[in-house]
Structure 1
Amino acid sequence: MIRVLVVDDDFMVAKIHSGYVSRVAGFEVAGVAHTGADAVRAVEDLRPDLVLLDIYLPDVDGLSVLRQLRASSGADPDVIVITAARDLDTVRGAIRGGALHYLIKPFSYEALRDRLEDFRALHRKLSELPGDSPAAQQDVDQLFGSRHRRAAPPPKGLASETAEIVERILRQATAAGGDLSAAECADATELSRVSARKYLEHFVDSGRAEVRLRYGGTGRPERRYRWNS
């Protein structure tokens, strides 16, 4: 489980965001803080993997909290900024402080879910790299690319509406810790197996999904698909 600290001065908003986090498979709320000082203490005490950090706090601003976390010799969690602040100075400060994402309030559950799934994909890729050997350039490109990947439109012959349905089914399977074959995707979407595979391969080609081979007793290996972010 990826443990998340929710930091927001508004008790009701913090409760809503905590509910959003709890709905995403693989994530749990480690704690909630309503001031900058409480946030710093909670990071030291709870050691969360990720902090959802508001900017407008009653004692210090969120960017000051971010700088304190980065300067700390102890826990150093990743941070997603969640705020109503839209000024470029704040956005620049969040980027320079190493925030992974910047979400402007109010935002939907789906918007936060997508950022959390981006983080989970990055977390998983890092954990899969061997810790005792140097990272290859392609590994580094994948890690940084997962933070900035954009959705590519489906090629000619594939419908955007159908692509969204296949994406949702694939996301759900991945969030549950599994993967999908083209046949399973076809059953879930009521497409033909050939059509389902075309959409799945489109997601692989655009870098938003990955495919792995599952070898059985006889015949060709089965292609299994997972959503990347």
Structure 2
Amino acid sequence: MTDIRTLIVDDDFAVGRLHGTFLEQLPRFALVGSELTASTALGRIRRGEVDLVLLDLYLPDLSGVDLLRRIRSDSSPDVDVLMVSAAHETELVEQAIALGVVDFLLKPFTRDAFNARLHAYASWAQQRRRLREIGQVSQTQIDALLTRGAHPVVRAAPKGVSRATRERVVAALERSPAAVTANELAESTGLSRVTARRYLELLVHEGLVEMQPRYGESGRPQHEYRWAGHRD
């Protein structure tokens, strides 16, 4: 996966530098710069230099919400925005969510919290890219996209899901050096193909497994699955 080009927009230079230090330690992210104002940030975004903006709500020339509106009104940039702000006002948070932020992280926060949100976003963005390549989605994949990766909707385990079988599938995926199809997983675990696929889709929905197409010599591509999570 290409590194996610990330721009930090915060009117506090020291805070922006600190968040930049956090970001530079994360895999899959590339810090392209830090801006103090909305106008300079918007210029970089419009030039296509940015995939993700870490945006504060309080800026000297324009509010973060107004900058977000301008980003969304532009037809060319395909940019995600993650709000990083000390703003607790419900109206501002609701406006940001309505404008499509991928997450909202309240200051102050720990480095671990920052890392967790960015890791979740990276997994979500990768899944979105792969689904665009496939061109079709299942209901579980739609659900995963709507949660935006950071906070999946909590649901009871589907009826008939066995913890032992789930652990069996997880262990097989963790051991596998490469992505596997449902057929390959079924062969390695002794499960039926239907059961293997069911648990794979469950793990995709939980954000623990990444799915991508595997193209063969002819016919429709198969789905293959790769472990991307961690144990609690």
Normalising by structure 1, we get a TM-score of 0.68
Match of 2:75 among 73, 76, 80: 73
CA–CA separation in structure 2 for the residues paired with 1:138 and 1:205: 8
CA–CA separation in structure 1 for the residues paired with 2:210 and 2:39: 44
Partner of 1:123: 125
Does the aligned pair in 1 maintain the 2:141–2:205 contact within 8 Å?
A: no
Q: CA deviation at 1:226?
A: 2.3
1:83-124 deviation per Cα after TM superposition (whole angstroms, max 9, x unaligned): 110010110011011111111111111111111111111111
Structure 1 residue matching 2:88: 3-state secondary structure: coil
1:141 maps to a residue whose letter is: D
Structure 1 runs, 4 residues or longer, greater than 4 Å off: 203-206
CA–CA separation in structure 1 for the residues paired with 2:103 and 2:136: 27
Q: CA deviation at 1:224?
A: 6.8
CA–CA separation in structure 1 for the residues paired with 2:126 and 2:4: 11
CA shift in 2, pair 1:151/1:23, >3 Å? farther
What is the Cα-based RMSD across aligned positions, in Å? 3.7
Match of 1:90 among 69, 89, 92: 92
Structure 1 residue matching 2:18: 3-state secondary structure: helix
CA–CA separation in structure 2 for the residues paired with 1:105 and 1:66: 19
Partner of 1:138: 140
Partner of 1:217: none
Partner of 1:52: 54
CA–CA separation in structure 1 for the residues paired with 2:16 and 2:145: 30
Partner of 1:22: 24
Partner of 2:107: 105
CA shift in 2, pair 1:211/1:181, >3 Å? farther
Alignment gaps of 5+ in structure 1: 153-178, 183-200, 213-222
CA shift in 2, pair 1:211/1:92, >3 Å? closer
1:56 maps to a residue whose letter is: Y
CA shift in 2, pair 1:133/1:83, >3 Å? closer
2:152 maps to a residue whose letter is: R
Q: CA deviation at 1:65?
A: 0.2
Partner of 1:209: 208
Partner of 1:181: 175
Q: CA deviation at 1:50?
A: 0.4
1:6-34 deviation per Cα after TM superposition (whole angstroms, max 9, x unaligned): 00001111100111111111111011110
CA–CA separation in structure 1 for the residues paired with 2:66 and 2:79: 15
CA–CA separation in structure 2 for the residues paired with 1:94 and 1:47: 22
CA–CA separation in structure 2 for the residues paired with 1:204 and 1:139: 11
Alignment gaps of 5+ in structure 2: 156-172, 177-199, 212-224
CA shift in 2, pair 1:41/1:211, >3 Å? closer
Q: CA deviation at 1:42?
A: 1.6
Does the aligned pair in 2 maintain the 1:33–1:42 contact within 8 Å?
A: no
